[in-house]
């Protein structure tokens, strides 16, 4: 008799309260997503003065170097967190880079392709972060180039990281050969405060 008295039935689940919590959580997630989307659109509006991206010439010439990997985004030169989203530059994607005498062709499946003319190249370096993406030291190839009156850093990561050094050397040579390059641009410091 005492054994039967000690047994209790399990508490009944309060489904209304659980459903309320789940719906509340989903609403918070939807609000955060909406705010992020609005922030992205607002940033694109602020950068609306960015000129159209150059297109590759019909006959770019023979390829000096090629690279297959990922495009991680573009920022204002020297400011690794000031992401540029206008003209599709904020879209991360797969990428195929081709360096010719005319410049660098950037082919991005599923995103807008663009071309960096040789005269717009301002240099290249190895780095570890861009647009909120941080990798191992030297894990990113950063190409600095001029678009209108704005200098841009674009970050790429090859499927074979050993290729990065050849790109830095080749783009540095192209940069030195460009007639309109000034020495003060050549030594742009990359501010990585906050990445540490």
* Cβ 73 vs Cβ 92: under 8 Å: yes
- Confidence label for 177 from pLDDT (cuts 50, 70 and 90): low
Among 35-49, 133-147, 162-176, 177-191, the range scoring the smallest mean pLDDT is 177-191
70: pLDDT strictly greater than 50: yes
* Cβ 80 vs Cβ 191: under 8 Å: yes
150: pLDDT strictly greater than 70: yes
d(CA 173, CA 186): 12
Which secondary-structure segment (H or E) carries 125?
Answer: strand 121-127
β-pair partners for 98: 66, 105
CB-based burial label for 2 (10 Å; 0-12, 13-18, 19+): exposed
Span between the terminal Cα atoms of the chain, in Å: 68
- Confidence label for 151 from pLDDT (cuts 50, 70 and 90): very high
20: pLDDT strictly greater than 50: yes
Helices within the chain (DSSP H only) = 2-6, 15-46, 164-177, 183-186
- Supply the pTM of this predicted model: 0.71
Strands 114-117 and 103-107: antiparallel
| Distance, CA of 10 to chain centre | 53
d(CA 67, CA 159): 8
29: pLDDT strictly greater than 90: yes
The torsion angles phi and psi of 156, rounded to 5 degrees, stand at -130, 150
């Amino acid at each position: 008799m005492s054994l039967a008295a000690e047994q209790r039935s399990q508490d009944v689940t309060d489904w209304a309260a659980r459903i309320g919590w789940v719906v509340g959580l989903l609403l918070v997630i939807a609000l955060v997503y909406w705010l992020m989307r609005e922030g992205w659109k607002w940033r694109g509006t602020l950068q609306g003065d960015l000129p159209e991206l150059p297109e590759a010439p019909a006959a770019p010439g023979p390829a000096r170097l090629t690279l297959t990997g990922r495009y991680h985004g573009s920022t204002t030169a020297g400011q690794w967190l000031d992401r540029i989203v206008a003209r599709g530059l904020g879209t991360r994607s797969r990428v195929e880079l081709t360096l010719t005498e005319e410049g660098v062709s950037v082919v991005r499946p599923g995103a807008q392709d663009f071309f960096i003319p040789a005269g717009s190249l301002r240099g290249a370096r190895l780095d570890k972060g861009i647009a909120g993406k941080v990798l191992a030291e030297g894990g990113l190839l950063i190409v600095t180039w001029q678009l209108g009156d704005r200098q841009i850093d674009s970050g790429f990561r090859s499927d074979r990281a050993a290729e990065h050094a050849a790109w830095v050397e080749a783009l540095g040579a192209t940069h030195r050969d460009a007639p309109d390059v000034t020495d003060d641009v050549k030594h742009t410091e990359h501010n990585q405060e906050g990445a540490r």
